[in-house]
Amino acid sequence: MNAPHVAEFLTLQEIVAAARANLAPGPWNYRIGGAETETTVRRNRQAFDSIALRPRVLRDVSRIDAGAAFLGRRARLPVLLAPIGGLESFVEGGGAAAARAAAQFGVPLMLSSVCQPGLEQTAAAADTLRCFQLYVRGDDAWVDEHVKRARDHGYSAFCLTVDVAMYSRRERDLVGRFVKPWRATAPAGSTYQSGLSWDQVKRFKDQHDLPLIIKGIATVEDAEIAVQHGVEVVYVSNHGGRQLDHGLGSMTVLPQIVAAIAGRAEIWVDGGFMRGTDVVKAIALGATTVGLGRLACLGLAAAGVPGLVRTLEILEEEIRTCLGLLGVTSLAELTPQYVAAAGPVGLPGALSAFPLLD
Ligand SMILES: Cc1cc2nc3c(=O)[nH]c(=O)nc-3n(C[C@H](O)[C@H](O)[C@H](O)COP(=O)(O)O)c2cc1C
């Protein structure tokens, strides 16, 4: 792996460029790509590009705090490392490496159930704020066993990802014949994710008191049903445009969901977050936590654990700069007054946040 001194990275663009240099075309396309025409991927970015910032001036911003609450605990940024399957096939240490970076920097990790070395060893690797995301590949008892293991190993919340009823057609992977060993096909007679319904959410809430996150909510209607089931966190996500193609950008649907839920659950969001300004826009519009998918992957691919830590440091600098220039000293001061609708100025794409990339 080409791992320059991480302190030499001054911008996120350089980290993305280093990741691209380190990854073979198959793994690169798997990480960056989306479903079919990749319209949802582009809309995620287009939604950010359609929001402008409204700065206030002549306010004392000499002391800025970009810290946030995460499930009642404190995190250094309002940022979560989103669940990523198969990290072990690209990064030495897999999920444990992500956990080490999360702990070293001070943000939470959501571990994917299809990421090695598994929930016990990842918990042992680093003392970080953590929650666990499950892809259902078994019966109720199988789910319950995972909840128990997660609780026993310090995971403070449990997540069901619900936008994978079918595995999408990722054409970059299909064309490249890219094999994903962590992807499972349901054996005959079992349904896995495609058989999930709100009944399982109800059952979870009846059986367990670990906070429940439903990841993959993309409409006001489903956000409302989730809240009626007592879900603690509505995680607005379209899986980074990797599942349903031709969906709306996450940031397009976020304000409607925030308004409808009106504080009855926390609202987290992901999809296309690449920049500090992206994070600030989401917090201004009512999200409490922002998930990083591809950006976290690219930090790890650029230079392992130090690469991801450096990614988070640069992101933090961007967030702090943005807050100061907006005239606020903490995330709590952000409101929708700090944003306005605007026309995008360029064509959106998975990497359009990095215009200096050649
Ligand atoms: C390589 C890769 C693997 C992923 N694996 C999972 C997974 O195992 N479970 C899950 O809930 N989401 C998974 N996701 C989706 C992310 O958690 C997140 O929703 C998405 O990446 C956010 O969009 P972004 O990549 O534009 O930041 C994956 C995303 C990527 C890029």
**How far is the centre of ligand 1, averaged over its atoms, from the C-alpha of 319 (Å)?**
22
**How far is the centre of ligand 1, averaged over its atoms, from the C-alpha of 240 (Å)?**
6
Q: Please give the number of the atom of ligand 1 that sits closest to the Cα of 85.
A: 8
**How far is the centre of ligand 1, averaged over its atoms, from the C-alpha of 238 (Å)?**
9
CB 248 within 8 A of CB 43: yes
What is the reported pLDDT for 187? Answer: 83
Distance CA 36, CA 241 (A): 9
Amino acid at 154: G
What is the reported pLDDT for 329? Answer: 98
Which parts of 59-211 are beta strand (E)? Answer: 68-70, 73-75, 79-81, 109-112, 130-134, 158-161
CB 262 within 8 A of CB 231: no
H or E element that contains 20:
helix 12-22
Q: pTM of the entire structure?
A: 0.97
Q: Which of left, alpha, beta for 177 (phi over 0: left; psi -120 to 50: alpha)?
A: left
CB 101 within 8 A of CB 309: yes
Determine whether 239 is an active site residue. Answer: yes
Instruction: Sort 229 into a burial class: Cβ within 10 Å, 0-12 / 13-18 / 19+.
Output: middle
Distance CA 68, CA 74 (A): 6
- Around ligand 1, the residues with Cβ closer than 6 Å are 31, 44, 82-85, 112, 114, 133, 161, 215, 237, 239-240, 242, 270-273, 291-295, 297
* 32 token code pair: 């960056």
| Partners of 133 in the β-ladder | 112, 159
pLDDT along the chain (358 residues), means of 10: 76 97 96 98 98 98 98 97 95 97 98 97 98 96 98 98 96 94 81 92 98 98 98 98 98 98 98 98 98 98 98 98 98 98 95 92
Q: What are phi and psi of 159, to 5 degrees?
A: -125, 135
**Residue among 161, 242, 352 whose CB has most ligand 1 atoms within 8 A, to mutate:** 242
What is the reported pLDDT for 149? Answer: 98
**How far is the centre of ligand 1, averaged over its atoms, from the C-alpha of 350 (Å)?**
13
What is the reported pLDDT for 23? Answer: 96
What is the reported pLDDT for 4? Answer: 56
For 211-243, the three-class secondary structure string (H helix, E strand, C coil) is: CEEEEEECCHHHHHHHHHCCCCEEEECCHHHCC
What is the reported pLDDT for 180? Answer: 86
